[in-house]
Structure formats: C-alpha cells, structure tokens
C-alpha cells in the first residue's frame, strides 16, 4: 500500500479490515468488512431494500451481489438479496482490485487524498469489536439502504468505529461528503467573482478540501459512540413507527399540555 493508493494484495488483508473496491470505472467504491475465512460482510442495494435516489445514479449504482445467470459456487444466487449480506471475497470484489480503508490518518494525509471514501481521521476499534458489530448487523440489519444517507461506507465505518452522526438516518460517508463538497463548489456564488481560471481552480479545490475535512467523522462534533445493540433497537423502533398509519403516529406522540 502506497501513499497515493490504498491497494493491497489478498495476502495482506486481515480480519477486521475495512476494505473496498472501485465500481463503474472509478465512479464510486463498494465497501465492506473482512471478517476472515475469505468472507466479507457488506451492505448492498437489493430487492426489498433499495430505496433509490430519484436521480440518474439509480442506473449506475448497483450492489455487488451475484446475479442468477452464473451464480457463485460458494455464495449461490444473490440476485434477490439485499441489506447486510456475507459474500466471498471474489463476489465482493466483482472483478475489481482490493483496497484497504485507512484510519487515524493526519489531516495533512487526509487532504492529500484527492477523493473521499478512502480514509478518515477517526480511529478504529480493535478487530474483535469490528467483527462483532459486522456479524451482529449481518443478523439484524442496518436499516434501509440509501446512497446519500445510509450506504455501504456508512456501514463499514460504523463497524470500525461505533460512531454515528446525530440528526441523520445513520451516518454520512466520505463519498457522500465529497459529492456535497463538490456541489457546493459548483454552486458557490463567491467563486463567480474570482478573476482568472487559475485562481478559480485553486479557490474551488480549497473549498472542496475544506468541505471534505469538516465532514469527516473524525472531525465532526455531532458524533457519539453507539452500541450496536442499541442501534438495532432504535432502527427497529423507527421502522415500526414509520409503518404505522398517520393517525396512529399522531396518537403515539405526547401532546403538549398548557399549565395554568
């Protein structure tokens, strides 16, 4: 693994590692937790779990589950499977290269990486805790997949750190943060008044880097350590609430009472 690339060989991967592989000509990466014995736990889009984004991304972002045409002899037909699943390393990579996500990097190293979703300033927990979370969520789920709010990178980062961001469905990945940072550069009104293409490029890249840095889970102030058992309980309660009719939702909310 080098400074500019997190690529590793299969012999280097260790249980508890957060790994990823690029998809669709490096448009995005698929993330998971290597739990040992050639198996990877990862969070996918699939039938019954896919929520969609309402954008063109729905046409290019797919899970790495095997389709029924040529099922893996180890994993079987995964064309109808979604949520947190366990796959062999070959199925997870889907023909791509193997990369390891870095933790406890310095801000300088973080900013030196031109793309989000490859490292974080946050520290990783011990491998046994990481594997426990990944296997617990394999059995109990990680909510409904959403490419911007609850995706495969969110799953892997939570397994590694136990950290969740407040006021979101579950978390916020580096890839999603990069998209937001890039969009803010494009839409930012101050850049329209910068003279010269070179100055515009420098200012734009600076805003992009700052946006990525402040959104990193290792830098945010609105994160907390959440036990995996509590996470699953809270998600189940939320799903139960959302499945109720609107009148029952209103009845379950405490009414404000005025005191005289």
Look at residues 99, 94, 105, 121 and name the one whose alpha carbon lies nearest to residue 177: 121
Looking at the annotation, which residues are catalytic? 30, 42, 152
Residues whose CB falls within 8 Å of the CB of residue 201, separated by 6 or more in sequence, listed in order: none
> Could you tell me the two tokens for 140?
């109990």
With beta carbons less than 8 A apart as the criterion, state whether 142 and 83 touch. yes
Look at residues 128, 122, 129 and name the one whose alpha carbon lies nearest to residue 164: 122
User: Please, what's the b/e burial string for 213-222 (b: 16 or more CB within 10 A of its CB; e: otherwise)?
Assistant: bebbbbebee
> Could you tell me the two tokens for 118?
């490859």
Q: How far apart are the first and last CA of the chain?
A: 68
Using only C-alpha atoms, the chain has a radius of gyration, in whole angstroms, of 20
Residues whose CB falls within 8 Å of the CB of residue 115, separated by 6 or more in sequence, listed in order: 178
């Amino acid at each position: 693994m080098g400074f500019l690339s997190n690529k590793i060989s299969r012999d280097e991967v260790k249980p508890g590692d957060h790994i990823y592989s690029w998809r669709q000509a490096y448009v995005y990466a698929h993330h998971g937790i290597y739990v040992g014995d050639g198996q990877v736990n990862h969070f996918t889009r699939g039938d019954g779990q896919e929520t969609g984004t309402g954008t063109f991304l729905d046409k290019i972002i797919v899970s790495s589950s095997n389709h029924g045409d040529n099922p893996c002899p180890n994993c079987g037909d995964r064309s109808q499977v979604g949520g947190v699943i366990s796959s062999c390393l070959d199925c997870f990579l889907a023909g791509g290269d193997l990369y390891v996500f870095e933790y406890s990097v310095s801000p300088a190293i973080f900013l030196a990486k031109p793309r989000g979703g490859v490292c974080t300033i946050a520290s990783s927990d011990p491998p046994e805790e990481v594997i426990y979370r990944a296997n617990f969520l394999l059995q109990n789920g990680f909510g409904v997949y959403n490419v911007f709010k609850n995706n495969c990178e969110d799953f892997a980062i939570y397994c590694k750190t136990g950290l969740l961001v407040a006021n979101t469905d579950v978390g916020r990945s580096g890839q999603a943060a990069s998209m937001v940072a890039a969009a803010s550069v494009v839409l930012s009104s101050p850049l329209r008044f910068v003279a010269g293409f070179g100055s515009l490029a420098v200012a734009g890249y600076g805003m992009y880097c700052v946006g990525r840095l402040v959104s990193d889970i290792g830098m945010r102030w609105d994160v907390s350590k959440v036990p995996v058992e509590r996470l699953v309980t809270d998600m189940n309660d939320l799903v139960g609430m959302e499945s109720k009719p609107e009148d029952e939702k209103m009845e379950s909310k405490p009414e404000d009472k005025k005191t005289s």
